[in-house]
Amino acid sequence: MSTTLEPPASNVEESRSRLCEEFASIAGTDSAVAQCYLAENDWEMERALNSFFEADLESVFKDSPEERSHSPETKKRKIDTNTPQRCIDLTEDSPSSSKPSEEDDRKLSLISWNVDGLDTDNVVERARGLCSYLVLYTPDVVFLQELIPPYVQYLKKRAVSYLIIEGGEEGYFTGMMLKRSRVKLLEKNIVPFPTTKMMRNLLVAQVTFKEHKLCLMTSHLESCKGHAEERMKQLRVVMQRMTDAPEDVTVLFGGDTNLRDTEVAKVGLPSTVCDVWERLGKREHVRYTWDTKSNTNKEISHVCRFRFDRLYLRPASKEGVPGLLPDHMALIGREKLDCDRFTSDHWGIYCCFVSS
């Protein structure tokens, strides 16, 4: 008959002490908090860290009354979000990933996504889902719509490899994320839409990427069928901005436009501006970004399929200045999270551009 010998108590104590030190170092907290989380998770480091960051993320959203009404009260110790902590970058490139080729390194990658921050159900899991896509695609530029202040606060703590620009401070608004190692911000400003009824505006950033001068713009144009006139008015402002940009600058606009094709036809695109989806061949499988047939986040009895989220490009036209042309596009966010919901009720757009 064999017996299993328990390790000496001194060894167990020493091992757990090391685990506490490692946990505290990674999470930027003290040994008491580390011991609490490790003990609750059978001294398994990965489980304990996941539990810690879950509680940390919930604390970021704790000021939302909607989130409080949907979330059970957490028994674990919360972290004061106003206290300086060591940030763990959830969007940092994996050190094990292979170095991109010189050709890929010169490509500009972009994600545009309405993250539906106004929907507070499973917002914790869905915010983490966004970060997982940032890790997967490592975009240089991210356009975001329907951000709320807690969502931005979380991204600033957990996406530190990006510079985050906000298009507002209260309610809901747009934002941009710029990869610090690849994109340099020169100037930013917010262009108001004077007659909006829905707090909408145009967020503009002048940046450089490699040898390119870029004007990046994002917006969430007026929603709903009944606000078509205001939406078209806003589209005209965007197109005027695109055409007025200097000839040595490439202009990229993207966001949740809420546009219908008939509305775009009424406004008309300038000859220098192209719809990126159309330029890449109007592929059907990347057409609908708001699709209640496939996306079940909203309980809608009938099927709605629209290409609300769009990208527009005006390449630089000055002789001798390199431009950017669209290379490929995909829809992202089509996998359900563990909470059985998608990251957003919109699919995100991922697009790559190459020098011309």
Q: Choosing from 116, 140, 256, 309, which is the catalytic residue?
A: 256
Mention every residue, 6+ apart, whose C-beta is less than 8 A from residue 240. none
Per DSSP bridges, beta strands 183-192 and 201-209 are antiparallel
Whole-number Å distance between alpha carbons of 130 and 43: 29
**Alpha carbon of 207 to those of 104, 177, 239, 255, 320: distances in Å?**
20, 12, 19, 18, 19
Residues 177-193 as b or e (16 or more Cβ within 10 Å = b): bbbeebbeeeebeeeeb
H helical segments located in the chain: 9-27, 31-40, 45-60, 65-70, 102-105, 123-137, 149-158, 228-244, 261-267, 276-279
From the number of C-beta atoms within 10 Å of its C-beta (0-12, 13-18, 19+), residue 46 rates as exposed
Whole-number Å distance between alpha carbons of 222 and 201: 9
Active site residue 256: yes
Strand partners of residue 354:
325
- Give the active site residues: 256
